Amino acid sequence: MKKTWWKEAVVYQVYWRSFYDSNGDGYGDLRGVIEKLDYIKKLGVDVIWLNPFYESPDRDNGYDISDYEAVMEKAGDMDTFKELLAAIHAKGMKVIMDLVVNHTSDQHPWFLDSKSSEDHPKRDWYIWREGKEGGPPNNWRSYFEPSTWTKDEQTGEYYFHSFAKEQPDLNWENAEVRNEIYRMMRSWLDLGIDGFRMDVINLLAKQEGFPDAERPEHINYLADNPGIHDYLQEMNREVLSHYDVMTVGEIPFVNPETGLLYVHEDRHELNTLFHFQVADEMPVMDLMRYKEIQESWYKGVFEKGWNSQFLNNHDHTRQVTRYGNDGQYRVESAKMLAIMLHTLPGMPYIYQGEELGMTGVRFDSIDDYNDIAMKNKYKEEVEKGRDPQEVFEDLLLLSRDNSRTPMHWNSEEHAGFTSGTPWIKLNPNYPDINVEQALEDQSSVFYTYQNLIELRKEHPVMVYGDYEDLSKGQEPLYMYRRSYQNVTWLVALNHSDASITADCPREFSGAKTRLVIGNVQVGAEARNNLPEKIDLKPYEARVYEIK
């Protein structure tokens, strides 16, 4: 399989509004990222993904864009962005930007024009339909609202939105829209950025005729519809193929078969994808299912396309809380999950603070939360007459604000994130979990990440190696082999808070080994020889090179 720079990369996601505030307004900003670049460089990552910082009324934290070619005031300005881009490149890293083109803000001039009258030339830039029997055109739910349709009083027609009503969907059937988006993409690429993370990119094509859904609560009718691959191939032809950049599509509701169509090297669409089989199916770890998902994606895309590995991001609760143990075994489980993600096939993504083992939050009241998905859902359920406290409790584990609280830099006020009032409360555990502490402690989660990233640069087996699950049907053990050319690695992970004993796979019985990385002290004997019975402490992880 062809080697490329991006296949070998580790990406660090910077949710800038919660990263570092350089001017005391309570929001992180682009200058704050510049000021903390040495920290990111120290971790060793290759690529930085910046969440959207375009001009926006900010109803959905920048995913509601009102000008694709301007910078939101909270983030800074265009000159600061250029300075950041140059600084990232000067440090030998690359940067990808969020591309949000399924929808705009309802305050975007295009939408204001579109809604102004049925005859406006931009009317068709969005999706307008007449209502049906006094209600919306069909029974679909949106991600953030009970309906995908909102009636506009001006003309009496409904417009379509996959997300909040403040985020109307663009009409990708309209060639003018597509060409305008391509022009905008070129203008950023010409500035020198290194690629895009493409927001819900498989939502662009809509279902012909918008038929009612049998089960409207399953919103998968929003995604992966006929025509999507024509758009992406056109985008590739018109824009992407002219630059040496990487693309990662956010692609919900796909399996390995349908997912491959987006990233197959011969199809010239995208390089890699985020699928959501893990995030959507398992609120907490279901290891048997997790292994099945890994296996099916490996079989589906290996040597054809490229996959990604992640367990959290700005939309998904921090992984140590959701899939590890954020109490007694926080450090061990954070390291174990890191070792897993970095040794499975696919590009690892690190979400800011993950490298500290930051945890999810539990604020006292709905008023402490900002997430539009959570707040809209809360309102909807309470309006149905449900007990507000019960609704609140139900929403806590998966609230997107779990991962959006500010980065912890030190144990001072507001964790050193801002000298002002932070836009959202901090996780109160910052005096114990923060960058300053992590950098001083050689055994911190941070150094496990640093070590893993360094190892990837020296050991192509982590990138290009094949994969075999040696622990099918077992729990809580996860054991797998990666091999490339004449190098073989064996990874053994304990996904539980109890000690376990794993049988050494017969093919490796008596093998001489070298312990490449682990998360618990291991004696010399167990480092250099594979025992018949491998004893693993709670959340222990070991990676052996078989000699």
Q: Interface residues with ligand TEU (CB under 6 A)?
A: 60, 63, 100, 143, 163, 199-200, 250, 252, 276, 279-280, 314-315
Single-letter amino acid, residue 465: G
Helices (H), 474-542: 524-528
Tokens of 215: 């089960």
Name the residue nearer to ligand TEU (CB basis): 142 or 434. Answer: 142
Name the residue nearer to ligand TEU (CB basis): 396 or 520. Answer: 396
From the CB of 347, what's the least distance to ligand TEU, in Å? 17
Tokens of 108: 């975007």
From the CB of 279, what's the least distance to ligand TEU, in Å? 6
- How far apart are alpha carbons 470 and 426 in whole angstroms? 41
Angle at 97 between CA 461 and CA 299, to 5 degrees: 35
**Long-range CB pairs of 423-430, under 8 A, 24+ apart, other chains included:** 423/17, 423/18, 423/26, 423/27, 423/370, 424/18, 424/368, 424/370, 425/361, 425/363, 425/368, 427/358, 427/359, 427/360, 427/361, 429/359
Name the residue nearer to ligand TEU (CB basis): 261 or 522. Answer: 261
Let me know if 60 is a catalytic residue: no
Name the residue nearer to ligand TEU (CB basis): 423 or 539. Answer: 423
Name the residue nearer to ligand TEU (CB basis): 47 or 100. Answer: 100
Catalytic residue among 98, 199, 269, 371: 199
Let me know if 199 is a catalytic residue: yes
DSSP string, 442-453: TTSHHHHHHHHH
From the CB of 114, what's the least distance to ligand TEU, in Å? 19
- How far apart are alpha carbons 463 and 466 in whole angstroms? 9
Name the residue nearer to ligand TEU (CB basis): 140 or 163. Answer: 163
From the CB of 59, what's the least distance to ligand TEU, in Å? 10
Host H or E run for residue 63: none
**How many Cβ atoms from other residues are within 10 Å of residue 292's Cβ?**
14
- How far apart are alpha carbons 251 and 168 in whole angstroms? 19
Catalytic residue among 250, 269, 355, 540: 250
From the CB of 191, what's the least distance to ligand TEU, in Å? 23
From the CB of 317, what's the least distance to ligand TEU, in Å? 11
- The partner residues of 491 in beta bridges, in order of sequence, read 480, 543
Q: Which sequence positions are flagged as catalytic?
A: 199, 250
